[in-house]
Amino acid sequence: MEAREILMKFKNNEMTLEEAEHYFRKQPFEEMEYAKLDSHREIRSGFPEVIYCSGKADEHFVKIFQRLYEDNGEVLGTRASRHQYELVKELFPQTVYEEICHIIKIEKPDKERIGNIAVCTAGTADIPVAEEAAQVAEYFGSHVTRIFDVGVSGIHRLLSRLDDIQSANCVVAVAGMEGALASVLGGLVDKPVIAVPTSVGYGASMNGLSALLTMINSCANGIAVVNIDNGYGAGYIATQINRMGCRKLD
Amino acid sequence: MEAREILMKFKNNEMTLEEAEHYFRKQPFEEMEYAKLDSHREIRSGFPEVIYCSGKADEHFVKIFQRLYEDNGEVLGTRASRHQYELVKELFPQTVYEEICHIIKIEKPDKERIGNIAVCTAGTADIPVAEEAAQVAEYFGSHVTRIFDVGVSGIHRLLSRLDDIQSANCVVAVAGMEGALASVLGGLVDKPVIAVPTSVGYGASMNGLSALLTMINSCANGIAVVNIDNGYGAGYIATQINRMGCRKLD
Amino acid sequence: MEAREILMKFKNNEMTLEEAEHYFRKQPFEEMEYAKLDSHREIRSGFPEVIYCSGKADEHFVKIFQRLYEDNGEVLGTRASRHQYELVKELFPQTVYEEICHIIKIEKPDKERIGNIAVCTAGTADIPVAEEAAQVAEYFGSHVTRIFDVGVSGIHRLLSRLDDIQSANCVVAVAGMEGALASVLGGLVDKPVIAVPTSVGYGASMNGLSALLTMINSCANGIAVVNIDNGYGAGYIATQINRMGCRKLD
Amino acid sequence: MEAREILMKFKNNEMTLEEAEHYFRKQPFEEMEYAKLDSHREIRSGFPEVIYCSGKADEHFVKIFQRLYEDNGEVLGTRASRHQYELVKELFPQTVYEEICHIIKIEKPDKERIGNIAVCTAGTADIPVAEEAAQVAEYFGSHVTRIFDVGVSGIHRLLSRLDDIQSANCVVAVAGMEGALASVLGGLVDKPVIAVPTSVGYGASMNGLSALLTMINSCANGIAVVNIDNGYGAGYIATQINRMGCRKLD
Amino acid sequence: MEAREILMKFKNNEMTLEEAEHYFRKQPFEEMEYAKLDSHREIRSGFPEVIYCSGKADEHFVKIFQRLYEDNGEVLGTRASRHQYELVKELFPQTVYEEICHIIKIEKPDKERIGNIAVCTAGTADIPVAEEAAQVAEYFGSHVTRIFDVGVSGIHRLLSRLDDIQSANCVVAVAGMEGALASVLGGLVDKPVIAVPTSVGYGASMNGLSALLTMINSCANGIAVVNIDNGYGAGYIATQINRMGCRKLD
Amino acid sequence: MEAREILMKFKNNEMTLEEAEHYFRKQPFEEMEYAKLDSHREIRSGFPEVIYCSGKADEHFVKIFQRLYEDNGEVLGTRASRHQYELVKELFPQTVYEEICHIIKIEKPDKERIGNIAVCTAGTADIPVAEEAAQVAEYFGSHVTRIFDVGVSGIHRLLSRLDDIQSANCVVAVAGMEGALASVLGGLVDKPVIAVPTSVGYGASMNGLSALLTMINSCANGIAVVNIDNGYGAGYIATQINRMGCRKLD
Amino acid sequence: MEAREILMKFKNNEMTLEEAEHYFRKQPFEEMEYAKLDSHREIRSGFPEVIYCSGKADEHFVKIFQRLYEDNGEVLGTRASRHQYELVKELFPQTVYEEICHIIKIEKPDKERIGNIAVCTAGTADIPVAEEAAQVAEYFGSHVTRIFDVGVSGIHRLLSRLDDIQSANCVVAVAGMEGALASVLGGLVDKPVIAVPTSVGYGASMNGLSALLTMINSCANGIAVVNIDNGYGAGYIATQINRMGCRKLD
Amino acid sequence: MEAREILMKFKNNEMTLEEAEHYFRKQPFEEMEYAKLDSHREIRSGFPEVIYCSGKADEHFVKIFQRLYEDNGEVLGTRASRHQYELVKELFPQTVYEEICHIIKIEKPDKERIGNIAVCTAGTADIPVAEEAAQVAEYFGSHVTRIFDVGVSGIHRLLSRLDDIQSANCVVAVAGMEGALASVLGGLVDKPVIAVPTSVGYGASMNGLSALLTMINSCANGIAVVNIDNGYGAGYIATQINRMGCRKLD
């Protein structure tokens, strides 16, 4: 709808002031002193706002947590410390802290989950990042199948779980060190593979940069990459894809 | 179906030798002297094999092109030179060469296309990579909307096309230099954004590495990245997503 | 004035020995055992000397602080620790410590401020660097408008503050992660944008190097970049520009 | 002015439809098939659009050149090849090609220039980039003083031109190899220094990356950096600053 | 044998002057004006000297080729140009030039070969490097099995050749792009895997550096890496290992 | 043996169900909740599984240690902390902890060792990595000769041990800083040299990356490289080679 | 003297067994269990062995310190911790610890010093590295002039000390951040400049790598560079040069 | 002499105007339109100015060559093309062009040379850079001993030339690939070693960066490094050192 059209409708009383204003108003977010909460976000993107907890001042963290919980009836924070957990636990005893992936959350009970995302890791040390992806995807309403420790140096472990992997709407491949898992998966499935390099490794792994380069250079098709250790980002985009995959086929 | 089950069925004559062998046979590809054509590929992944033409010897290139055309009734090659085009044009005069994105192809007429992918570029110099993405996606059966030259240094150009972008099932963001386009798009749509860094730029652009880092570090959600100048890879995964998006909603 | 001219004027008594010597003397600074205080600096550059506190030995730090305060009636130190604050607080109880940006200072009361600098950040985690820029600019006599948490992944937040940004003489863009804020700002204002990459981020952010590369490669005009986390440098050059912008138009 | 206010004024006939539409309309640029000319640009930024010629298709280049010339009565292109020059020379014989810095232009005669920008280079090999900066600044209406070959390995050459440098409103420091020129200049003037690293050098100069790092790490104040070889960018921001510096002092 | 012992034996006439001198003499190589041919090399290492042809002056190249042929009755050069081939072909018409891997050689007829080395490539573009490795190993007396185009994005192609791979004494894994082939092979065989990254790829492959990092970071056991495109080095060390593997088992 | 053949043999009762199933079964590993123990590994590769202890949760670490000990009667872990040692020492008092190289183990008494591997270091600071290599090789059944502190800046120290080095079946060269040791060794022996860069050094050593590059670029023959500080990997592949070297000569 | 000549002299009794053996013997160093002390070093190089203390085990450190002191009557260690100082102070109360540069030493009294080395720093934070260079040079017998805090952002400070700098036999330039000091010095003196990059700085200084690149790329003559923070190396080579400079002129 | 003293002497007629002016005058160089010839250079540094020919415009190159020849009776240019040689050969037929190292020169006949510099290379491909160093040093009046192709992979070649190397006043070590030559030399001589990394190599040699890192990290003493391929810089500083070494010993 063009501006001209709106203006005319408003003038002709086919539209109220509030309706017209809605199209042009400037502030679809809630101004706090230290941050701008994105209150239109769920409408715009289909996902509620999530807190990136790391580095937030105590006072700010608690207020944002509280506000989001009051707005949505549930809330999720990533990269939370145990200290931050203890802060909000006093206010909301139902808060849960997932130590392995540093997620803090209050989740609505009996949430329905749809579809399926396969979250795979190369080794056991990649599990924290994989859990972040899995729990974020679950919070956003996806079913998740966890398939851990199936790295390419023992390819038979991966092949034994092929059915589970191939039946998912989206595959998340979490791997540090050489990161070859994504390429092998890309050649075995017909769904998008979201690759997550991890900072697991030593020496020339350069905190995940080597794995990132491996994945970006993959010669397999249907692979795209998110940032090192970015389980959250992988869980988010995998959920976008999973939601599409749950539509009914003709 | 487990191996034990198959073996028993075969022994009990519930399954022929050919059927049983099918499960265990080793070679779902066609051995040529210099390459292994992946003849099961379309069955396995839903996509026909595509030729990466760059660096192939003339004789090999022509034979592979011919074989794939005979098998599928159509064929597509990326990063093809004009010289390679002339080689196959003699054999198949209906071959088309898209100079701007170095694609060579024979395509079945009246192919039906579904859904919608928005392919956006930051500048005009990014168009060759974007065209590779767009034409690959079209070849694989997707509708594509091209939205070029909408880089973030003139944000109003991008905002004016927002409706087109938001109605797509998947957005491909092609940008060199600083690569900020992906982040802005990620904040504006509720569908996955596939980011393609390009080697466009000079100075510290380092042939696309700077744009790649920008995109990988994006603070927006729903973004994943493919290799520098990898229009093909973006068109492929965008098609996977677009196909899902075309399923009927409940 | 050429050397020959000065020499002749001096010989002809048109100039005193002191005046002549002034042109050739060698030491416009104050020699301390461990440092050379630049006492001519304010005359030469229009800015008083500032202390970079990090790594200074306690004794040296206190003496330099004291000397500068005695010379100028005010003093400012960047990257100061709480320990350093406590050292000088005993001597000068009026000393102020800004915890968030690690600035320590004694400032003349009722200092007049001129013009306007807009200091913008992409996220809340960039605020410490932005505050360093803002407080340094204020200490040097500039008005500052703080516009925080307006990153490009939610572009509407930035657009809602456009008037404030466009009315400034200089814009400071502080951003970590992908650093795209500078490009978007560069396309929206007609004044110089000083971009400050921050070390905020994780994974492939490489402690701010990715943001630096993004900003250096910006395709927008009117952008120049200072070092990662260098809020002080941005506040300094923004003040130089702001002073010019406060001159009367014809 | 808020949206609500505009809407009411329009309804109450205090504003025409055209005036109201102006605030909300979407397309302040001219759509061509292959590009989006930014026709509002001069109004928004005070600078006309400039053509980055490198890599443009012949037909596109000529059309854009023509259109901009017709709109503004003058036009400037950077990184133009001799071939591109010959293309437009046929249409507009008054076109000038500056071989040393690859600038192509038709400039209004008797253009008035204001203020002063000092463009300095470390060596003779940096002159092409410096000339790009200088000519761009002149095209945008600035006076420019060229001070070439004053690198820090012969510091007396620089000191001999100090008066010229110190009297400028802005200093552009162009240097490859070790890039130390910017730091020395930063310590000698009280105006902003825009540093331009060049790709001049060999060995570990890494095509200008070393010079870029040197300049970004400068310990002097009042320095900000643009991309490697980006003379255009330096000329642009220096002109922004020079324009401010030409305002009358109180 | 200690120096003292040799000296006493010589004095006591239990050793001739020539024998004693042999232990202490300084020059086990042949001095040419422009190079030092390592004439003791075959004795010391079990391998004849090989010519690295690239960049050698014509005259020098021909003389070295001639000398080595006269000394050993055969000669091999790597990275030879067609021009260099034509130079020596005039002198020695039996010279052979392997265009695909740029090897030039005269080889003794009926050379016996022992053991087995499996040389695998990920794609067809890796074949030139693989051929260098294979032909060098053959020249040094090893049997070689070539297994090309078995990259991990189609893992079934690799698995179908497992028997051939597992029966070799050493496996050479040649791969560009993401280089994951080495890891998968390392998990499937009980013999050393020599990994050769290649410069094949584009974008972030950085001329083979990404593949090198992938291989160095491999989480599989029994893998060691040589330089990018260094087929010669891989063929050499694989032959050392193959020779050991041909010893009789107890 | 082809699938068809197995199927027919089974049908014809020349093979039992168990035997036939063996060829096709999918799971040659033991599924634990958090890991997949590779129980076929020793059969497949000739080496028992080893624990990479770093980062394992206490409970998981103890269970895996226990399981492997029960399966094999011995067990070895690398990169173990003293804390992890104390955990298992309570269960198995015979556990040994090698502080210098962070190895934890229970080893069968009177294990026979064969052949010889020379493990050399450039300096004393490289000893921890060298000891990891040496102890791993010994655990896997190799004799090891330790030759430490023979770096190339005092080449006579290395030459004095030449006999010991030249008589080994494989040489491991462990060096940080400039890593030149591998090249010198490569020129002196006729056996494979496995080079291990270490993170020893400061300044531009970049945590071992410089040494890695030095070794990868070695102009000597018969050298291959493992990851920085990867003593385990070197000990593993050196043992593979040593085992071959122990076969009887014809 | 050739081997043949020595052998004949020995046989003809013109040389004793000991003298002859001297030429061929293998071990000009003292074997300790964990290290090889280079007892011929002072004869060979003119410099006594120095201890690099960092990372040495307590017991080893003390024994080496003791042995070197007993051999030479003095001893110097670099990068020593206070803890290491306390260890040896109990044995040798005359031990001195220089906290600022982490040097530990017992020095012969009344050592004569010759010539002159100018050690310059850009800032006060570079002093620890400069002191290491200065004290090492003094220990090796050179006079040192310290000229600190003369960085190029205040070039007049450097120019005021020009006489002192120009009269030295060798100049050591110690600088972090942008490292431009070496270039300016190289243009002002006619003696070699040894440049020492330091890890001082933040952001894109990358722990001294930027300063290293600046210095390596210097366009001035007579400059060579040592490793980041390597004051010891600079003091060593500066002493070599200073000793030559103290020779009498004809 | 202080400014005050000079002024008084001048006023008191103890000094002429010219003498006084000499101390303060500003321009010890000759201004050409496009460059500033450093006419005081030989006085200041003891070395005549040398032309870096690469990239100079024909006209500029010829004029500078001519001017320097007229001033000094000889002239030397580095990195000259054959085309540049032909330009000046027409004017000065006595001009010599050294193709291998791209030096162009007219040299005074019967120039006396002093002292000795040993210029060593690792391989034959490093000779062009070594020749640049050698010829520059000879032009500046040093004797040079060339010792080529003595890389560390055949250490006996280097040891056989030890006497020649040890008798020089300065050693220049030229090496690409792994660059280990400098470390070995540093351990064998008691004179400064100037290390020159070369861009010779392939794969991970990264155009000399790997060799540069190797040399900078050398664990040997008495080594300092110049830029990649910078033979000129090495010849210059080696001559500075050689001149000192030619002074008479007491």
* pLDDT, tens only, D70-98: 888 999 999 999 999 999 999 999 999 99
Q: Could you tell me which residue, E72 or B118, shows the higher pLDDT?
A: B118
Q: Tell me what pLDDT residue G48 has.
A: 81
**Which ranges of chain H would DSSP assign to H, the alpha helix?**
3-11, 17-24, 41-45, 58-72, 82-91, 127-139, 155-159, 162-166, 181-186, 209-216, 231-245
Q: Which chains sit next to B, with 3 or more Cβ pairs under 8 A? A: A, C, D, E, F
Give me the percent of chain E exceeding a pLDDT of 70. 85
pLDDT > 90? residue D128 = yes
Task: Tell me the average pLDDT of chain F.
Answer: 86
Distance CA D78, CA D101 (A): 8
Q: Tell me what pLDDT residue H70 has.
A: 87
| Cβ atoms of residues H42 and H30 within 8 Å | no
Chains G and B in direct contact, meaning 3 or more beta-carbon pairs closer than 8 angstroms: no
Q: Could you tell me which residue, B130 or E44, shows the higher pLDDT?
A: B130
pLDDT band at B23 (very low <50, low <70, confident <90, very high): low
**B77 and B119, same domain (yes or no):** no
Identify the three-state secondary structure at position F132.
Answer: helix
Buried b (16+ CB within 10 A) or exposed e, D185-216: bbbbbbbbbbbbbbbbbbbbbbbbbbbbbbbb
| Domain termination residue (choose one: A73, A106, A139) | A106
Mutate to test the interface with D, among H206, H227, H228, H232 (most CBs of D within 10 A): H227
**D202 and D86, same domain (yes or no):** no
List the one residue out of C127, C150, C246 whose CA is nearest residue C196.
C127
Between vectors from CA B185 to CA B184 and to CA B189, what angle results, nearest 5°?
A: 130
Query: Residues E150-173: what's their mean pLDDT?
Result: 89
**F160 and F180, same domain (yes or no):** yes
Task: Tell me the average pLDDT of chain B.
Answer: 86
Q: Tell me what pLDDT residue G27 has.
A: 41
Q: Which residue of H has its CA nearest to C20?
A: H7
| Cβ atoms of residues E146 and E174 within 8 Å | no
Name the residue range of residue E172's domain.
114-249
Per DSSP, F128 falls in state H
Question: Least CB-CB distance to A36: which of C125, C157, C205?
Answer: C157
Give me the percent of chain H exceeding a pLDDT of 70. 86
* pLDDT, tens only, D192-223: 999 999 998 888 888 999 999 999 998 788 99
The answer to whether the Cβ–Cβ distance between C34 and G159 falls below 8 Å is no
Q: Tell me what pLDDT residue G77 has.
A: 96
Q: Does B116 touch chain A (CB under 8 A)?
A: no
ipTM of the complex: 0.84
Question: Least CB-CB distance to H212: which of D157, D159, D204?
Answer: D204
Q: Tell me what pLDDT residue H229 has.
A: 96
Residues linked to residue F170 through DSSP beta bridges, in sequence order: F117
* pLDDT, tens only, B131-166: 999 999 999 999 999 999 998 887 878 888 888 999
Q: Tell me what pLDDT residue C37 has.
A: 60
Q: What is the pLDDT along chain A (250 residues), one digit of tens a residue?
A: 456 677 778 778 888 777 776 555 444 455 565 666 655 556 556 788 899 998 888 988 999 999 889 888 999 999 999 999 999 999 999 999 999 999 999 999 888 899 999 999 998 889 999 999 999 999 999 999 999 999 888 787 888 888 899 999 999 999 998 688 999 999 888 899 999 999 988 888 889 999 999 999 987 889 999 999 999 999 999 999 999 988 765 5
Distance CA A101, CA A232 (A): 10
**F51 and F12, same domain (yes or no):** yes
Tally the domains of chain B: 2
Q: Tell me what pLDDT residue C146 has.
A: 96
Q: Tell me what pLDDT residue D55 has.
A: 82
Q: Could you tell me which residue, G44 or D26, shows the higher pLDDT?
A: G44
**D10 and D131, same domain (yes or no):** no
* pLDDT, tens only, G26-81: 444 555 656 666 555 555 567 888 999 988 889 889 999 998 898 889 999 999 99
pLDDT band at E25 (very low <50, low <70, confident <90, very high): very low
Q: Is the dihedral of CA A176, A178, A179, A184 positive or negative?
A: negative
**C143 and C36, same domain (yes or no):** no
Query: Residues D185-193: what's their mean pLDDT?
Result: 91
* pLDDT, tens only, A85-101: 999 999 999 999 999 99
pLDDT band at G243 (very low <50, low <70, confident <90, very high): very high
* pLDDT, tens only, F175-219: 998 788 999 999 888 899 999 999 988 888 889 999 999 999 987
The nearest CA of chain E is from the CA of B160 a distance in Å of 32
Distance CA F212, CA F234 (A): 14
For residue B212, the chain E residues in CB contact (below 8 A) are 203-204
Q: Tell me what pLDDT residue C203 has.
A: 87
Question: Least CB-CB distance to H217: which of G46, G47, G227?
Answer: G227
Distance CA G45, CA H220 (A): 11
Distance CA D26, CA B158 (A): 10
The answer to whether the Cβ–Cβ distance between G45 and H190 falls below 8 Å is yes
Distance CA B203, CA A203 (A): 30
**H183 and H162, same domain (yes or no):** yes
**E176 and E236, same domain (yes or no):** yes
Residues linked to residue B117 through DSSP beta bridges, in sequence order: B144, B170
How far, in Å, are B129, D201, G77, H166 from residue G224 at the CA level?
45, 17, 25, 21
Query: Residues F40-65: what's their mean pLDDT?
Result: 81
pLDDT > 60? residue F119 = yes
**H173 and H244, same domain (yes or no):** yes
The answer to whether the Cβ–Cβ distance between D244 and C249 falls below 8 Å is no
Residues linked to residue H96 through DSSP beta bridges, in sequence order: H105
Mutate to test the interface with H, among G221, G230, G246 (most CBs of H within 10 A): G221
How do beta strands H142-147 and H114-121 pair?
A: parallel
For residue D45, the chain C residues in CB contact (below 8 A) are 189-190, 221-222
For residue D209, the chain B residues in CB contact (below 8 A) are 204, 206
**A162 and A86, same domain (yes or no):** no
Q: Tell me what pLDDT residue G33 has.
A: 55
Task: Tell me the average pLDDT of chain E.
Answer: 86
Query: Residues H179-205: what's their mean pLDDT?
Result: 91
Query: Residues B5-22: what's their mean pLDDT?
Result: 75
The answer to whether the Cβ–Cβ distance between C224 and D245 falls below 8 Å is no
| Domain termination residue (choose one: C106, C139, C161) | C106
* pLDDT, tens only, G174-190: 999 868 899 999 988 88
pLDDT band at D13 (very low <50, low <70, confident <90, very high): confident
Query: Residues E121-126: what's their mean pLDDT?
Result: 91
Query: Residues D7-34: what's their mean pLDDT?
Result: 65
Q: Tell me what pLDDT residue D227 has.
A: 96
Q: Could you tell me which residue, F162 or E234, shows the higher pLDDT?
A: E234
Q: Does A214 touch chain E (CB under 8 A)?
A: yes
pLDDT > 50? residue B202 = yes
pLDDT > 50? residue C164 = yes
For residue C244, the chain D residues in CB contact (below 8 A) are 169, 241, 244-245, 247
**B52 and B23, same domain (yes or no):** yes
* pLDDT, tens only, B57-107: 898 899 999 988 988 899 999 999 999 999 999 999 999 999 999 999 999
Q: Tell me what pLDDT residue D28 has.
A: 45
Q: Could you tell me which residue, D145 or B29, shows the higher pLDDT?
A: D145
Lowest mean pLDDT among A8-22, D12-26, H218-232: D12-26
Query: Strands, E, within chain D: which ranges?
Result: 30-31, 36-37, 51-52, 75-78, 96-98, 103-106, 114-121, 142-147, 170-175, 193-197, 223-225
Query: Residues G87-107: what's their mean pLDDT?
Result: 96
Identify the three-state secondary structure at position B99.
Answer: helix
Q: Could you tell me which residue, H47 or E26, shows the higher pLDDT?
A: H47
**F97 and F162, same domain (yes or no):** no
| Domain termination residue (choose one: B82, B106, B130) | B106
Run of H or E residues at G114: strand G114-121
Question: Least CB-CB distance to G7: which of E2, E4, E20?
Answer: E20
For residue D29, the chain B residues in CB contact (below 8 A) are 154, 156-157
Q: Which residue of C has its CA nearest to D195?
A: C224
Q: Tell me what pLDDT residue F14 has.
A: 82
CATH number at residue H174: 3.40.50.1970
